[in-house]
Structure 1
Amino acid sequence: MDTAPPPIAPHATLPRHYADDRQRDRFVQALFDQGAPSYDRINAIFSLGSGARYRRDALRRAGLAPGKRLLDVATGTGLVAREAVDILGGAADVVGLDLSAGMLRQARAALPIALVQARAEALPLADASVDLVSMGYALRHVPDLVRAFAEFRRVLRPGGRVLLLEIDQPSNRVALAALRFYLGGVVPALSRLVGRGQADQRMMRYFWDTIDACVPPATIQAALERAGFTGIGCDVQLGVFRAYGAQRPAEG
């Protein structure tokens, strides 16, 4: 009897944060619910240049233009969605989705887009209903990359594209040590001061730990291929910022 291929998790269990995978969802949801009020402020200070212009340029390179419809998965406070609204000239064709009610509250206060609380691997959208699916710095928080990517493919129209923004470990050991010191030590410590104390420190520590433990780019691209995408590529800037792109075939 044929068996389904094993799932591809973005990283192994992180005992420092949760005991096992059954606790993962509750931990991540609570973490971002608590950190939502400070998230934009922390991101603006410690984004390493990955700001509004980078997100806007990545969306344009992925083909977003007036007349297209975007689904922004794991929209958080709406940082990617805000740039999409600017490109499209309005909010009518942007949908933001997130598992965290706290993040959605922050997004709702800043953006007039449609917002949905749901999981990346169970999208409450019709088949072939959007032209671009984006996900900004959140693929490390889903339990199975292939399931999530298969849902992205399902809701995309034929010929539609997916854009995944991520932070990766640099290949240079000195650069990796510097990034680990900064994102794994400095940012969590300062987040406690500029944010809301220990909760924000824990959120940013988790952010780095998932980067440090994340599967390599080749595994992410293989998961896209398994989910049925073609034309898979990855733009790399500064050796750290990755923009994965792929397309749902025009037929099938």
Structure 2
Amino acid sequence: MTRSPKNTDVQALFNKIAPEYDKMNNIISFGTHKLWRQKVMARMTFPNGADIIDVATGTADWALALAEKSDETAHVTGLDFSEEMLAIGQDKVDISDYSEKITLVQGDAMALPFDDAAFDIVTIGFGLRNLPDPVTGLKEMYRVLKPGGQLVILETSQPDNPIVKPLWQLYFGKIMPVFGKVFAKGKYTEYKYLDETTEHFMDYMTLGQVLLKTGFKKVTISRFNLGAAAVHYATK
């Protein structure tokens, strides 16, 4: 059983919210999560025949976007520990134009079931904060990345603007859990937990420092929506 530091069984949580996950992502982010991914990928380099892994792939949205962006000889692996999320993702992959390019795998982000230096690109979107030990997860991503390969982390963050921050806290702390209750069949507790992981996750500068300590190089950071999300780019 994979538990968070708050002793929450996160695998069971994501299995429970899987049926409404895509709908809730659109509602909570007002659809901007798709735009964020497009902006992130516009700055990425995709070598020919790239081996790519999307860690904590969920319902495979980013895996599908990576398959679309990369060339026809590339291959995308999507890994997640929630079988219910992967089942929904597999349905989406099967009806896409990229079913031959994408393999979905159930596994633990903190013990990736792959050889050292297996991938040219490692991505993780809105998943790092849900790992019981994000640093262990980053070490695993470093291990499976090829020398010179790219790591890209897209994650919720905390605005530091004194005007914006209280509004952000109100939205994530009070409004978002109510959305879970109204639009996700009463799942107030689950979305309250997701708010707490956002609120207590390391800030974007601390994450950048952790990446450097882990061994990554050329760490650059961009922020979206007045600091509500941040993307970290790094190389091995």
Secondary structure, aligned partner of 2:153: strand
1:227 aligned to 2:190?
no
Of 13, 23, 28, the residue aligned with 2:10 is: 28
| TM-score, with structure 2 as normaliser | 0.88
Please give the root-mean-square deviation of Cα atoms over the aligned residues, in Å: 1.9
* 1:157 aligned partner: 146
Instruction: Provide the C-alpha distance between the structure 1 equivalents of 2:220 and 2:35, rounded to a whole number of angstroms.
Output: 21
Give 1:85 shift: 1.5
Q: How many residues are treated as equivalent by the alignment?
A: 225
The aligned amino acid for 2:176 is V
Instruction: Provide the C-alpha distance between the structure 1 equivalents of 2:55 and 2:83, rounded to a whole number of angstroms.
Output: 14
Instruction: Provide the C-alpha distance between the structure 1 equivalents of 2:185 and 2:73, rounded to a whole number of angstroms.
Output: 31
1:64 aligned to 2:53?
no
Give 1:137 shift: 0.8
Give 1:162 shift: 0.4
Instruction: Provide the C-alpha distance between the structure 1 equivalents of 2:58 and 2:84, rounded to a whole number of angstroms.
Output: 9
- The 5 Å alignment of 1:70-219 reads 70-88=52-70, 93-111=75-93, 112=99, 113-198=102-187, 201-219=188-206
Instruction: Provide the C-alpha distance between the structure 2 equivalents of 1:142 and 1:91, rounded to a whole number of angstroms.
Output: 31
Give 1:48 shift: 4.1
* 1:239 aligned partner: 227
Instruction: Provide the C-alpha distance between the structure 2 equivalents of 1:127 and 1:176, rounded to a whole number of angstroms.
Output: 40
Relative to 1, partners in 2 of residues 1:189 and 1:154: Cα closer, same or farther, differing over 3 Å? same
Give 1:91 shift: 9.1
Instruction: Provide the C-alpha distance between the structure 1 equivalents of 2:92 and 2:82, rounded to a whole number of angstroms.
Output: 16
Secondary structure, aligned partner of 2:227: coil
Give 1:167 shift: 1.3
| TM-score, with structure 1 as normaliser | 0.83
Secondary structure, aligned partner of 1:172: coil
Instruction: Provide the C-alpha distance between the structure 1 equivalents of 2:197 and 2:37, rounded to a whole number of angstroms.
Output: 21
Over 6 Å off, 4+ runs? none
